[in-house]
Amino acid sequence: MLAPYLDLIEARGDAQKAAEMAAYHKVARRYLGVSNPVLMELAQDWRQDLDIAGRVALADALWQTDIHEARILAAKLLTQARIRPDDAVWNLICCWLPDFDAWAIADAVAIAAQKRLVADPTRLDTVEAWTRSDHMWTRRAALVSTLPWAKQNHPKPEELAARDRILGWAAGYVDDRDWFIQKAIAWWLRDLSKHDPDRTRGFLANHGDRMKAFARKEAGKYLPDTDQSPA
């Protein structure tokens, strides 16, 4: 099943671009040099041709190759708002978490996870367990996967409760010195500031002095009236 799909990806590769990607991502795996727009085009075509079970099977097979573009495509195959039933998709996404080792792949999967969380917010209970993982990328995924709750303009009471719950996770991360964790906190707050500036200011007032300077600055990027320097 996998071979013809992999052949299609490899046929769109570029050796020079592959070398540039390997140098940029700095993770030892095979790179083919295929651009994101091409990967999106392939994913859209394959999603139309496969049922859910077929997409899950192909996504899993692509992931197991450990090829950069194949893993990105695996995530894109599962990135769709309306998937029913979607338990197999969600379970596969969760199975991939321990393999995360690079931001581009982790973020591609997190975008797929966002759709499944919005479809079933009770899955936030599972995501909360990610925040206690020893694996940095899994902890980071808890924030990147829940970005939709930062972007709601008119949240319902239960959505506000989820927003505060996730901000609680972020507050628990502020003493983590890892750059990617700090970046994720800043990303969540930056997006939140466009829709809920008061909560963003409150978070920064309570926790900003413990964030790294770059993260604090990025979090307050759209709050020009707020001093983001430590007290």
| Weakest mean pLDDT among 9-23, 29-43, 75-89, 214-228 | 214-228
- Output DSSP code: residue 222: T
Average pLDDT over residues 159-169: 98
Max alpha carbon distance in the chain (Å)? 59
Structural domains of the chain sorted by starting position, each given as residue range(s) with its CATH number in brackets:
1-103 (1.25.10.90), 120-231 (1.25.10.90)
Q: Which residue has the tokens 């940029």?
A: 24
Question: How many CA atoms, within 13 angstroms, populate the side-chain half-sphere of residue 204?
Answer: 30
pLDDT of residue 30: 98
- Output DSSP code: residue 123: G
With bands split at pLDDT 50, 70 and 90, how would you rate the model's confidence at 224? confident
pTM: 0.94
Is the pLDDT at 60 greater than 60? The verdict is yes
Distance between CA atoms of residues 224 and 220, nearest Å: 7
95 CB-near residues (< 8 Å, 6+ apart): none
pLDDT of residue 230: 45
Question: What are the pLDDT digits (tens) for 97-156?
Answer: 999 999 999 999 999 999 999 999 999 999 999 999 999 999 999 999 999 999 999 999
pLDDT of residue 145: 98
Is the pLDDT at 231 greater than 90? The verdict is no
124 CB-near residues (< 8 Å, 6+ apart): 117, 146, 162, 165, 166
Is the pLDDT at 229 greater than 70? The verdict is no
Q: Which residue has the tokens 């020893």?
A: 134
Average pLDDT over residues 45-66: 97
140-143 contact pairs (CB < 8 A, 24+): 140/106, 140/180, 140/181, 140/184, 141/97, 141/100, 141/106, 141/109, 141/110, 141/113, 142/166, 142/169, 143/169, 143/170, 143/173, 143/184, 143/185, 143/187, 143/188
Give the whole-number percent of the chain exceeding pLDDT 90: 96
Distance between CA atoms of residues 208 and 190, nearest Å: 13
Is the pLDDT at 199 greater than 80? The verdict is yes
**Between the CA of residue 191 and those of 66, 79, 194, what are the distances in Å?**
31, 21, 6
Question: How many CA atoms, within 13 angstroms, populate the side-chain half-sphere of residue 87?
Answer: 1
Distance between CA atoms of residues 128 and 111, nearest Å: 17
With bands split at pLDDT 50, 70 and 90, how would you rate the model's confidence at 226? low
Is the pLDDT at 186 greater than 50? The verdict is yes
